[in-house]
Amino acid sequence: LKSLLNDPGLLETRAFVAGDWIDADDAATFEVTNPARGDVIAQVADLSRVEVARAIDAAESARHAWSARTGKDRAGVLRKMHDLMMQHADDLGTILTAEMGKPFAEARGEIGYGASYFEWFAEEAKRIYGETIPGHQPDKRLTVLKQPIGVAAAITPWNFPNAMIARKIAPALAAGCGFVGRPASETPLSALAIGVIAERAGLPKGLMSILPSSRASDIGKEFCENPKVRKLSFTGSTEVGRILMRQAADQVMKCSMELGGNAPFIVFDDADLEAAVAGAVACKFRNNGQTCVCANRFYVQDGIYDAFAEKLANAVAELRVGDGLADDVQLGPLIHDDAVAKVETHVDDVLAKGGAVLTGGARHNMGSNFYQPTVLAGVTQEMRIAKEETFGPVAPLFRFKTEEEAITMANDTIFGLASYFYSRDIGRVTRVQEALEYGVVGVNTGIFSTEVAPFGGVKQSGIGREGSRHGIEDYMEMKYVCLSV
């Protein structure tokens, strides 16, 4: 992998702890593999709670001087991190594809997306406004200060190895917090590369640590039990989110949770058919279906169902599958065996219960982690795929008759992250966007991710918002000051 990089210094396999690059105290390492080929690409330092506690101590010490600096001053460092990420986007994209599998063009796009959070929150660092409130008594002057919460800890998943941690680091540092983060053990290299960039950008020593470890639950416990940690930000499954919230309860720790989704994608009879098909492909097959906002259920109205099914199946059959580092590939491998097995189970369940394959429907001959891009027809609410997130390249089509029925089925889930629908009727567009119980609604578009908008879920998809001017709030506390004059 090193030989593919212009700047091999970006590939770090040691941990970034308290401002130093270290091996684990017990010299333990874990393997990182390339999911397209299965070969080991790195041996990475495997930390335990001891080193993590040291990182937390360092973040707690460094944060006071950092938050005492002006917003503009902190912004300068964050801006530099953005610039360095963009300057090294090719190398960072190569590292990302090697450890995660997504096509290089998408990986490079993710680097730009991750970097955009540094740019955005550099700007927001200067706009942390408090409030003055007219007093409730003649001698009282009331003000509200916004102050950084303290050390923020983050746990992130493998599907966006750069962007998921970037959008936690950037607001935390902008707010004036210290930061400790554990990336998923499948994909630690992209997060460690951000450590290299932070160091080059002149971030104060110890303020931020990147803590690779195969011992996920141990590190989670240290984050929740260490009294110096005041905030936990997690992106991952609802199942693990629940565990972490329970653990964080003992310290009444403020939590942000970006959890699972089960996104509906509704196509009404009056939709622009071509646009709906293009949106469906972009939304479902991006990252090979491995995003928490990928459409999981396609509800298609009776009158347009057959035409939509045919066009979608034709478009999906043309997607090019391969090694993400090869030219011209649109879909890479899935992350590992378990991911392929889950896709297989969902497809088999649909077929056993009367659904049909329009295209795909089996493993791909590229290798053991590959699955064919698939479209299934005749899917119903009783099938597993209606209830669980597939996290793979499978588009299941459900048929519906009325708007009311579509909304009921779309909301029939414990999740509430992303939703999509296509319609050209202004009345319907207004009604449906209001009726969908989701944190994000894409109307006549399959892609909405941007650092300028608030992203997050309702119901069991999460708590808190990332990005936008609201994103920094999760890393701040309000202090009400009542002054008697």
Binding interface with ligand ADP (CB under 6 A): 155-157, 184-185, 216-217, 220, 236-237, 240, 243-244
Q: Is 234 helix (H, G, I), strand (E, B) or coil?
A: strand
Question: Computed from CA positions of residues 404, 406, 409, 414, in that sequence, does the dihedral angle turn out positive or negative?
Answer: negative
- Nearest approach in angstroms of CB 382 to ligand ADP is 24
Q: Which lies closer to ligand ADP via its Cβ, residue 235 or residue 374?
A: 235
Determine the residue type at 345. T
Q: Which lies closer to ligand ADP via its Cβ, residue 159 or residue 374?
A: 159
- Nearest approach in angstroms of CB 220 to ligand ADP is 3
Q: Which lies closer to ligand ADP via its Cβ, residue 240 or residue 394?
A: 240
Residue with tokens 């390249």: 393
Residue 466's CB: how many other CB atoms inside 10 A? 24
Q: Which lies closer to ligand ADP via its Cβ, residue 157 or residue 471?
A: 157
Residues 6 or more apart whose CB falls under 8 angstroms from that of 169 comprise 117, 118, 154, 179, 181, 194, 198, 208
Q: Which lies closer to ligand ADP via its Cβ, residue 157 or residue 279?
A: 157
Residues 6 or more apart whose CB falls under 8 angstroms from that of 338 comprise none
Q: Is 330 helix (H, G, I), strand (E, B) or coil?
A: coil
Residues 6 or more apart whose CB falls under 8 angstroms from that of 19 comprise 58, 199, 204, 205, 206, 207, 209
Q: Which lies closer to ligand ADP via its Cβ, residue 215 or residue 465?
A: 215
- Nearest approach in angstroms of CB 344 to ligand ADP is 16
In DSSP terms, which residues pair with 476 in a beta bridge?
148
Count the residues in the chain: 485
Residue 375's CB: how many other CB atoms inside 10 A? 26
Supply angle C-alpha 249, 185, 225, rounded to 5.
20
Residue with tokens 């706009």: 127
Q: Are the CB atoms for 182 and 154 separated by under 8 Å?
A: yes
Q: Which lies closer to ligand ADP via its Cβ, residue 88 or residue 346?
A: 346
Between the CA of residue 163 and those of 156, 393, 472, what are the distances in Å? 10, 21, 16
Catalytic residue selected from 124, 258, 389, 466 = 258
Q: Which of 74, 140, 136 is nearest to 475 (CA)?
A: 74
466 is catalytic: no
- Nearest approach in angstroms of CB 67 to ligand ADP is 27
Task: For residues 345 and 479, give the distance between their C-alpha atoms in angstroms, rounded to a whole number.
Answer: 51
Q: Which lies closer to ligand ADP via its Cβ, residue 5 or residue 240?
A: 240
- Nearest approach in angstroms of CB 389 to ligand ADP is 9
Q: Which of 274, 179, 276, 161 is nearest to 223 (CA)?
A: 179
- Nearest approach in angstroms of CB 148 to ligand ADP is 24
Task: Read off the tokens for 368.
Answer: 């053991």
Q: Is 26 helix (H, G, I), strand (E, B) or coil?
A: coil
- Nearest approach in angstroms of CB 250 to ligand ADP is 14
Determine the residue type at 195. G
H or E segment to which residue 266 belongs: strand 263-267
- Nearest approach in angstroms of CB 321 to ligand ADP is 22
H or E segment to which residue 356 belongs: strand 356-359
Residues labelled as active-site residues: 258
